[in-house]
Amino acid sequence: MSRRWLASDLKLIYLRQIIVAFSNGFASPFVSVFLVQLKASASSVGLLSSLTNLISNVFQPFWGAVSDFFGKRSSVVVLGGAGASVIWLLAIGTRTAQYLIELIALQAFLNSMVTPALSALVGELSPSMRRGRVAASINLFSSLGSLVATLISGYMMMKNTGSLTTMYAVPFALAGSFGLAGNLVMLKVKEHHYSSRRSINLGGLVQPLREDDRFRHFAVVSFWSMLIQSLPWGLFPFVMIDVVHADMFQVAVISAINGASIMVVQRTAGRLVDKYGRKPFVLAGKFGLSAFPLFYAFASSVTWLYLGNFESGIFNGLLMVAVFAYLVDVSPVEKRGSYFGVYNGLTGVAMGIGALVGGYLGDFMIGEFGLILGLRYALVLIASARFLVNLQFFGIEESRPQA
């Protein structure tokens, strides 16, 4: 495949990412808030985070193996991505928390098809010494698309004076329509047929953990880190809605600040990761995110949440680029779908456990100490646990780029 075609295919992936991120920006940042507005408990919001992360990741080893076996990366991306976009259309008219949780869980299953195939495809199309910058560019386009759509959606919902069902109808419709259009762009990407030609079986799905010590160590450490990192996800929406009383546009601004800070740091992060290595920026990202729950724990106004999401976005941006480049470095080209699938599957299980446990922890603490103090004590405890578990990352081995 010529360099011209490789560059053309990367541009199509960039286009897909910005359109799909624009699509999801209309709806994704507001789903957990919608649950709180539907009077769901902290454990129910935690259950949503648990199911979406568990389902979207635990099936990835299978889909990664499928894309490796057939060598059909872009076809898998189109099928899963288009199906996930249709879910937003089915969500129009939602009136109960249970129905919303069921729909988003189904969407997570469809999204599980996309991530390993798309990650492997990007790895194949990226020159080995520029992978950090390519990952940064793709994340930049994604952040830009999501940021713009989230602000538009938040403003529309703030101005809507009707019912909750009416308020979310237009954002869900826009999310579904743009998502379908963005995923169809991938039909133009050339298939590169990096088939592994090996059978798909349960033993083979975890083979990456057996054959590479660096990958296994990184995956295991990431599992425990993500379990703790996901604990507060079901608690954050309650701080936004019930503690600082943010309106829908302020909710959008919170998400936009996070996305904008990720976007700003991406380009620089890509160059730094390629120049100085992956490990320093994995460490910086992990320890930076350890402090994030404290902004919510002591929030007395929405300004605290703005500051916290700015800080979180900076360190998340560093971490996203460094982790992606690290995983591409340690995975053989013909098995990259499987490696990404196994890694995301493990971390998905961790996030599923963590988010569910965190929701029940929130219910318990709120029941014991009241809303504000209960959330504060839980979030301080979680921040401390994040710091301690991330000490494990000092033991990972630096990676070296391969083809």
- CATH class of the domain whose range is 3-187+212-395: mainly alpha
Distance between start and end Cα atoms, the chain: 15
Q: Is the pLDDT of residue 30 over 90?
A: yes
- How many residues are listed for the chain in this entry? 403
- Residue-averaged pLDDT of the chain: 86
Least confident range from 80-89, 98-107, 145-154, 306-315: namely 145-154
Q: Is the pLDDT of residue 65 over 90?
A: no
User: Strand, coil or helix: what is 291?
Assistant: coil
- The answer to whether residues 48 and 102 touch, using CB atoms and an 8 Å cutoff, is no
Q: Is the pLDDT of residue 397 over 60?
A: yes
Higher-pLDDT residue of 62, 176 = 176
Rounded distance between C-alpha atoms, residue 67 and residue 65, angstroms = 5
pLDDT at position 97 is 92
291 burial level (CB within 10 Å; 0-12, 13-18, 19+): middle
What residue spans define the domains of the chain? 3-187+212-395
pLDDT at position 27 is 94
pLDDT band at 5 (very low <50, low <70, confident <90, very high): very low
pLDDT at position 304 is 97
Q: How many CB atoms lie within 10 A of CB 129?
A: 9
pLDDT at position 281 is 92
- Read off the DSSP letter of residue 398: P
Q: How far is CA 300 from CA 201, 245, 379, in A?
A: 52, 10, 14
Per-residue pLDDT reduced to its tens digit, 118-163: 877 777 776 655 656 666 677 677 777 888 899 999 999 998 877 8
Rounded distance between C-alpha atoms, residue 322 and residue 319, angstroms = 5
pLDDT at position 401 is 58
Rounded distance between C-alpha atoms, residue 263 and residue 261, angstroms = 5
User: Strand, coil or helix: what is 277?
Assistant: coil
Q: pLDDT above 90 covers what percent of the chain? A: 51
pLDDT at position 284 is 93
User: How would you classify residue 71: left for phi > 0, otherwise alpha for psi between -120 and 50, otherwise beta?
Assistant: left
Q: Hey, what are 125's tokens?
A: 């199309």
pLDDT at position 58 is 79
pLDDT at position 47 is 92
Rounded distance between C-alpha atoms, residue 383 and residue 379, angstroms = 6
Per-residue pLDDT reduced to its tens digit, 319-337: 988 998 888 888 887 777 7
Per-residue pLDDT reduced to its tens digit, 198-226: 555 555 556 777 787 888 899 999 999 99
Least confident range from 70-79, 82-91, 151-160, 249-258: namely 70-79
pLDDT at position 1 is 44
The average pLDDT across 378-403 equals 87
